[in-house]
Amino acid sequence: MKVCNKCGEAGEMSKSNNGLCKACHADYMRQYRNGKPQKRYFPKDMDAHRAKMREYMREARSNGKYQYDELTGPISGFVYVVKEVNTGNYKIGYTAGNLNGRLATMQTDNSSPLELVECIETDDARKIEARLQQRYASRHVRGEWYKLHHEDVTKILNGAY
For residues 11-32, average pLDDT: 74
Q: Decide which of 2 and 129 is more confident.
A: 129
First to last CA, the chain: 61
pLDDT tens string 35-71 = 555 554 455 677 777 787 777 767 766 665 544 445 4
- The whole-chain average pLDDT of the chain stands at 79
Output the pLDDT for position 123.
Answer: 85
Output the pLDDT for position 140.
Answer: 94
